[in-house]
Chain A
Amino acid sequence: MNILTIENLSKSFGDNLVIDQMSFSVPKGSIFGFIGKNGSGKTTTMKMILGLLKPSRGTIEVCGERVKYGQTDTNRFIGYLPDVPEFYNYMTAYEYLKLCGEITGLSKKTIKDRSIELLGLVGLDHNNKRIGTFSRGMKQRLGIAQALLHEPKLLICDEPTSALDPIGRKEILDILATVRGKTTVIFSTHILSDVERICDHIGILHHGKIILSGTMQEIKKYYHQDSCLIEFSNSHDRDRFLQATTIENLESRETTDDVSVILKSQALKRMMQEIMSEMIRLDIVPVKLEILDPTLENLFLEVVK
């Protein structure tokens, strides 16, 4: 079952088309990495899902209900963490959660129990200071707590880790990993290592379109192509090596600088054998010969080219 379905969604600000006929869906229980460069339209899409922005065209469905701009009933299914969450600085973390709970319509007891549980989860229990004195990481953690307060079916996090230091990032990712299974998470980011760590589904947004989406494994398998980096001691060696017939016949050759080259093939073992025998034949000793793992970063750079 899909928690979120987006069909033919478009949004333009004046003449500027930000989202162009976008369609994708997020299956229940997944952690969906929504990847794109800065300014690619991630926040715009999320705000439309929340009914804070009006789509120019297309439909959004959350838990089978259509999202309407302005009066958004579908938000009862959603917990939202904005990129830079802002709270009322004069309140304490507990008071803020209480306010959120009361607005959502939770009972007094639920609010108390959930607040204590969540503040414990995000490490803000026993903190009676006002939010105004919180660090950015603490605010981000409080943001997750308020987003999870009403046990939403869908948690939307807009770049939750982008502004944080490595420790803060790890904390946020660990918290998100703990809600896996209970809540579906959509998590936008441009930090690919974060996606690799916790997401099981991804969608790559580029020029207002989803250009690639699916499960992490599928995508990695589909785009799996073994590649190998060779660094020579000088460019003369490299050119001699590249002119060899066996090497010229390889699927893809990419020179990165004067002395290195990246070779790609579907059959890694054969390629490596050919490379090495060619080197012995030509009497070349490389400085470095390395098999490259397929990373999301390489994949991303490839598909947004």
Chain B
Amino acid sequence: MRSYIVFTKKELIEYGRTYKFFILFTIFIALGFMNPLTAKFMPKILESFMPEEIEIQLPPPSSLDSWAQFFKNVTQTGLFVAIIIFSGMMSREYEKGTLVNMITKGLPRQTVILSKFTASTLLWTLSYWTCFVITHIYTMYFWKGETVLELATSTLFLYLFGIMLISVLLIGSTLFKNSYGGLLFTGGFIAILFLLKLSHKIDNYNPLQLANQNINLLSGNLHPSELKSPLFVCCTVIILSIISSILIFDKKQI
């Protein structure tokens, strides 16, 4: 247990001193502000660019637009940046040979995996929920009194989807000696999720739904209970990924 805390602390110091945390956190804060602002002012901006003769009617923006921006930006920009930042978590240590000293000092191999997962998940948690809180505060300020349905559930789903990608990245990074390996592995995993959308039957279990049905949950078109199966698959993938990363790393020659 002690070595787990020590090594997790080392991971957090690493993210801090190599500015990775700074980059990730800044981007998520920026997204947090951008989401409600874009939703609020987009119609005005569009209007100002339109030639005067053309008159288009845009519906007044609502809080739903602000959340739509949130889910779009976090999935398209936020997750993308997070994956790139975490991509070298194991392979960078392989490349440099820095783990040799730690392992020969008696650090259990599974602790390495668990600490890496904990530290990256902590960073993701902090960045994600900070972004959420900022968007939430501004949305409440711009659209007083307006409410959306199932906000907590919907954001929690996307949060879990992010953890799942981190855990899949962990396998990739443990398997390959350079960070592109981990990135490609995760990219491949996402590509498979998109392919599975083609089959309606399998899509009912597709964890990708946790990241692209969020607006339907907010607008009431979908009930959270309908996403029970994807949620189950998502949690299973997280647990299996961590276990297989430990097993792979046990056999890995460093």
Segment with Cβ contacts to A, from B5-13, B33-41, B136-144, B176-184:
B5-13
Q: Which of A242-264 contact B (CB under 8 A)?
A: none
Q: Which 5 interchain pairs have the tightest Cβ spacing?
A: A90-B17, A102-B6, A86-B97, A80-B104, A86-B96
Known contacts A70-B250, A90-B18; decide if A103 and B105 are in contact (CB<8 Å): yes
Question: Is the C-beta of B102 less than 8 angstroms from some C-beta in chain A?
Answer: yes
Binds B, one of A71-79, A196-204, A230-238, A281-289: A71-79
Distance (Å) between the CB of B99 and the closest chain A CB? Answer: 9
In contact, A103 and B14 (Cβ under 8 angstroms): no
B101 at the interface (CB under 8 A from A): yes
Verify B2–A105 contact, CB threshold 8 A: yes
- Contacts A71-B109, A75-B105, A100-B105 known; A88 to B98 CB distance under 8 Å? yes
A82, B101: Cβ atoms under 8 Å?
yes
A-chain residues with CB within 8 Å of residue B17 when the two chains form the complex: 90-91
Classify the interface of chain A: helix, strand, loop or mixed: loop
Q: Can you pick out 9 interface pairs between chain A and chain B where the beta carbons lie within 8 Å of each other?
A: A54-B253, A75-B105, A82-B100, A86-B97, A87-B101, A88-B14, A90-B13, A99-B10, A104-B106
Q: Check if B122 is an interface residue, CB within 8 A of chain A.
A: no
Please state if B105 and A82 are interface contacts (CB–CB under 8 Å).
no
**Interface residue? A85 (CB, 8 A):** yes
Query: How far apart sit A32 and B13, CA to CA, in the bound complex (Å)?
Result: 39
CA–CA, A197 and B250, complex, Å: 40
Complex contact B97–A53 (CB within 8 A): no
Q: How many A-B residue pairs have CB under 8 A?
A: 68
B80 to chain A, nearest CB (A): 25
Q: Are A71 and B108 in contact (CB-based, < 8 A)?
A: yes
Name the interface size band of chain A. 20 to 34
Are A103's CB and B106's CB within 8 A?
yes
Please tell me which one of the listed residues A52, A53, A76, A146 contacts residue B103 in the complex, with CB atoms under 8 A apart. Answer: A52
B45 to chain A, nearest CB (A): 42
Q: How far is the CA of A52 from the CA of B18 in the complex (A)?
A: 28
User: Which residues of B are interface residues toward A (Cβ below 8 A)?
Assistant: 2-3, 6-7, 10, 13-14, 17-18, 96-98, 100-109, 250-251, 253-254
Q: Does A50 contact B (CB under 8 A)?
A: yes
Contacts of B108 in A (CB 8 A): 71
**With A86-B96, A90-B18, A99-B10 given, is the CB distance from A50 to B104 under 8 Å?**
yes
Chain B nearest Cβ from A279, distance in angstroms? 59
Given contacts A52-B253, A70-B109, A75-B105, contact A103 B7 (CB under 8 A): yes
Q: Which of A76-116 contact B (CB under 8 A)?
A: 76, 78, 80, 82, 84-88, 90-91, 99-100, 102-105
Complex Cα–Cα for A70 and B13 (A) = 27
Chain A residue with the shortest CB-CB distance to B97: A86
With both chains docked as a complex, state the minimum distance between the C-beta of A237 and any C-beta of chain B, in angstroms.
Answer: 58
Closest to B252 in A: A70
Residues of B with C-beta under 8 A to A88: 10, 14, 98
A75 pairs with B10, CB closer than 8 A: no
Contact (Cβ within 8 A) A103 B98: no
A-side contacts of B3, CB under 8 Å: 102-103, 105
Separation in Å of the B8 CB from the closest CB of chain A? 12
B13 cross-chain contacts in A, Cβ below 8 A: 90-91
Least Cβ–Cβ distance between A197 and chain B, in angstroms? 27
Extra inter-chain contacts (17) besides given A71-B108, A102-B2, A105-B2, CB under 8 Å: A54-B253, A72-B104, A75-B104, A82-B97, A82-B101, A90-B17, A90-B18, A91-B13, A91-B17, A99-B6, A99-B10, A100-B105, A102-B6, A103-B3, A103-B7, A146-B101, A150-B105
Report the separation of the CA atoms of residues A104 and B102 in the bound assembly, to the nearest whole angstrom.
9
Give the chain B neighbours of A99 by CB distance below 8 A: 6, 10
On whether A100 and B101 interact (CB within 8 A), knowing A90-B13, A105-B2, the answer reads: yes
Min CB–CB distance B53 → chain A (angstroms): 60
- In Å, the complex CA distance between A86 and B102 comes to 11
A78 near B98 with CB under 8 A, answer no
In Å, the complex CA distance between A78 and B103 comes to 12
